[in-house]
Amino acid sequence: MLKEPYIPTEANRQAFIEDVARKCIADMTEEDKQAFRNDPDPSNYHFGYGMYIRNNYLRGKELPIEFTFDADRMSGLILERIIELVK
């Protein structure tokens, strides 16, 4: 029997995005942060840092909460939050 996927509340999803964004920032150099400040368009990081986020935090990992999501969209939301936090 298939288990119905857990659909998180918006608060859970936001908490996950916040957690990953802060972990990413903690590993950044000041130069990395400045690059995000200089170019705050998250789509410019899709194939670079976005792939890093997907590979290290979204794909093939046991997530802290069970939910289904589009990894590209989720990495984009995380990138947006990173940009907000490093401003």
User: What pTM does this model have?
Assistant: 0.79
The domain limits of the chain are 10-86
Mean residue pLDDT across the chain: 83
pLDDT, tens digit (0-9, with 9 covering 90-100), for 39-76: 999 999 999 999 999 888 887 655 555 556 677 888 99
pLDDT at residue 77 above 50? yes
Question: Residue 5: its pLDDT value, please?
Answer: 47
The residues, any chain, with a CB within 8 Å of residue 41's CB and separated by 6 or more, are none
Structure-block tokens of residue 3: 């288990």
